[in-house]
Structure 1
Amino acid sequence: MDETFKLPQYKIFINPIDLRELKRDIWIDDPVPAQLAIEGKKLEIDLSYRGSHIRDFEKKSYQIAYYKPKKFKGSSLVHLNAEFKDPSFIRNKLSFDFFREIGCLAPQSRHVFLTINGKAEGVYLEIESVDENFIKRRGLPNGAIFYAVDGDANFSLMSDLDKETKKSLKLGYERQWGSAKDDLHLQEFIYKINTLPKAEFEKEIPRYLNVEKYLRWVAGVVFTSNYDGFVHNYALYRNGATGLFEVIPWDYDATWGRDVNGKRMEANYVPFDGFNTLTARILDENSFRSQYHRLLEDIMNHQFTIEFMAPRVEQLLHSIRPSVLHDPYKKQQIEQFDQELAIVTLYIEERRNYLKKKVTMFD
């Protein structure tokens, strides 16, 4: 068998008229009908572009909503990311896997090879949607999910975009699952973050936030160096049983030593103590800060090591390399792809050195 097809194949077929309509305006979110052949099955789907600035890229990313049947393998919606600016194709998946290793909720993902009307579109990352099915699949209590849709999801009363007081405490968020009552819980959470007196904060904030899970998420952002991670690339899940908020990472291709444009990122570029209002208030409390430092040290002793990560990076790169050679947008850059193991391992070494100094300095 051709090694290209070791990856699962996504074969999408679209009426040429609908395909022309899809391409007519890349900024329109309206889907077009299509058929998906996958794993021996033929499914009716709705296909649309996804993302914001990434729609300008030559290689597009897509969103697939299952139409008939309404669900496939327990999902009603999946995302196909082109990973166009990541020379390795693996940083998003590597990050999601890492977050799960350190005890956070994170989407499942896998690499696939996409064709549209028989034309090869190349290697994509299939990413699980963070929605009600995400909750059900993990056996979690039903609860609300909010997407952080822009920089105003900064846990502050001040807008990150226009530097003025927010007109709504919901600004920056879009409810993906839940009810209007859940909007009130979110607004109360944001309000409490910003108005609790320091004397009450340490005792009161655990009534709204799973502090341990939040610190693990902060650690994940810090270790992977997602510059936008503190104010944007995440979703909020409010556990219906505990009433506590948890954070779920999203959009982690600009990590592990490369920025959003795919350029090398300095290992000290993302601060070890974050830069949103909630993180600042959490780390201003001695007990939480000590807990965070212990967590950083534990992860650096176990998961964030070259010995732990390098085999995972190497395995992912090896599994997709034959397919990268057939990616019409990336096959000419295979030499750069082959350097990515060294890029990631060097980043881990340099980031560890930076974080060790910071933790020691603040102890």
Structure 2
Amino acid sequence: MSAPEKDDVRTYSLFIHPKDLATLKNDVWSDETVPAKWKIGKKQKEIEISYRGAYTRNLPRKSFRMECKNPPLLFGAREMHWNAEYNDPSLMRTKLSFEFFENIGVLTPAAQHVLLKLNGSILGLYLQIESVDDCFLQKRGMPEGAIYYASNDDANFSLLSPDDDAVKKSLLDGYTRKLGNETDDAYLRTFIYRINTIPRADFAREIMQFLDVDLYLRWLTGVVCTQNFDGFIQNYALYANKAAGQFQMIPWDYDATWGRDVKGRPMEYDYVPIEGYNTLTARILDIPEFRHKYRKLLEEVLETHFTLKCLEHRIESLHDALRPYILSDPYRGKQIGAFDSEVNVILTFISKRNLYLRENLPKLGD
């Protein structure tokens, strides 16, 4: 089966035995899977399914994680995430963010909207997100390496917790290993320790032993433009490219962007500063050479990719493709006015954010 086209919304029919469905609903915080059947057209596959997410598990519409237990894999993946994007009235922000990151040269998961049905009833429109795992690397011809999810805000590249400035019990706090072993854990601990202890005079040279700085600056540009407030200390995956011996950043969970916060409330266009934040970013931008590279990259992106001219047609076309499915969505169908108005919210954000970043480029020096 081939992968869907860019805006082709496929219908997925899920069948879960009532007893298993009751098990799923009885403990929304459990990561234990239950068996299910997944039907796509005439194809059917046995899968395992569970809820996913953090605070979103308390929302009326849940998100799901799916595992294929037996080959062949579908779309070259054994695991997928079906995100409800409940607090994003546009249902487009993560999709737009991932496309933006990919366009500026950042390693990014694939994302595709799907219509989910459960036991014959429409659940609604979801965003399918590719899992960042070994299949993700293989599909892109990437070298093998460990992968970690930044699962909470302790993944701030600091020795201290952001909540109370207390010393972390472990340098792995905030991370969930998806792929790798204890040797990889030791390398990640060393990376975080060295971020915080390399002398300033040696930082530019030594940090490149651990980090692909150029790719980090591209990722930073993407987070700053889309204004993902949480994206600096969570909402990313960390890939340790063993061939290069360097870490790379991969974006994850980007519904709180383009002018909205994590609860779907308006976020002012100037909320996140041009320098971003977290300990690693601060140390990198403290180096004149890296700061200059960041400014030049940001200038280029503000001229080419992060503009109304570049993005307006894409936003409108995605909106038009999703609208018929929103109308049939049992949760969102009655909120079609809010869905329609989000196009202008996003476009206004782009215009104001672009101008704000341009005006603040001098803060980065020459």
Please give the range of the TM-score, normalised by the shorter of the 2 chains.
over 0.9
Matches of 1:197 and 1:228 in 2, distance apart? 28
Deviations 1:217-253 (A, max 9, x none): 0110000000000001101001111001000000000
Matches of 1:28 and 1:345 in 2, distance apart? 38
> Structure 2 matches for 1:139-178, cutoff 5 A?
139-178=141-180
Greater mean alpha carbon deviation, residues 262-271 or residues 157-166: 157-166
- Corresponding residue number in structure 1 for 2:23: 21
Q: Secondary structure at the match of 1:207?
A: coil
- Corresponding residue number in structure 2 for 1:320: 322
Tell whether the 8 Å contact from 1:102 to 1:216 is kept in structure 2 after alignment: yes
Deviations 1:272-291 (A, max 9, x none): 11110000000001111011
Post-superposition offset of 1:67: 2.0
Q: Secondary structure at the match of 2:272?
A: coil
Q: Secondary structure at the match of 1:252?
A: coil
Task: Pick one of 247, 253, 268 that aligns with 2:249.
Answer: 247
Task: Pick one of 72, 85, 88 that aligns with 1:86.
Answer: 88
Q: Secondary structure at the match of 2:75?
A: coil
Percent identity reads 49
- Corresponding residue number in structure 2 for 1:9: 11
> Structure 2 matches for 1:1-363, cutoff 5 A?
7-69=9-71, 71-363=73-365
Check 1:6–1:291 CA distance in 2 against 1; reply closer, same or farther (3 A cut).
closer
Post-superposition offset of 1:69: 3.3
Matches of 2:256 and 2:157 in 1, distance apart? 22
Deviations 1:128-154 (A, max 9, x none): 000111110100000110111111100
Deviations 1:186-213 (A, max 9, x none): 1111111000000100111111100000
Deviations 1:64-113 (A, max 9, x none): 11123362221110000001111110100100110000000010010000
Tell whether the 8 Å contact from 2:211 to 2:247 is kept in structure 1 after alignment: yes
Post-superposition offset of 1:180: 1.1
Matches of 2:219 and 2:196 in 1, distance apart? 20
Post-superposition offset of 1:312: 1.0
Post-superposition offset of 1:22: 1.0
Matches of 2:61 and 2:175 in 1, distance apart? 28
TM-score, scaled relative to structure 2:
0.96
Matches of 1:237 and 1:320 in 2, distance apart? 32
Tell whether the 8 Å contact from 2:292 to 2:364 is kept in structure 1 after alignment: no
Post-superposition offset of 1:15: 0.8
Matches of 1:361 and 1:105 in 2, distance apart? 28
- List alignment gaps of at least 5 residues for structure 2: 1-6
Matches of 1:169 and 1:231 in 2, distance apart? 14
Greater mean alpha carbon deviation, residues 263-272 or residues 121-130: 263-272
Matches of 1:50 and 1:172 in 2, distance apart? 17
Matches of 1:191 and 1:50 in 2, distance apart? 30
Q: Secondary structure at the match of 1:228?
A: helix
Post-superposition offset of 1:353: 1.2
Deviations 1:30-84 (A, max 9, x none): 1111100014210001110000110111111111111233622211100000011
- List alignment gaps of at least 5 residues for structure 1: none
Matches of 2:241 and 2:45 in 1, distance apart? 33
Tell whether the 8 Å contact from 2:291 to 2:364 is kept in structure 1 after alignment: no
Q: Secondary structure at the match of 2:343?
A: helix
Check 1:6–1:348 CA distance in 2 against 1; reply closer, same or farther (3 A cut).
closer
Tell whether the 8 Å contact from 1:43 to 1:69 is kept in structure 2 after alignment: no
Post-superposition offset of 1:6: 5.9
Matches of 1:21 and 1:178 in 2, distance apart? 31
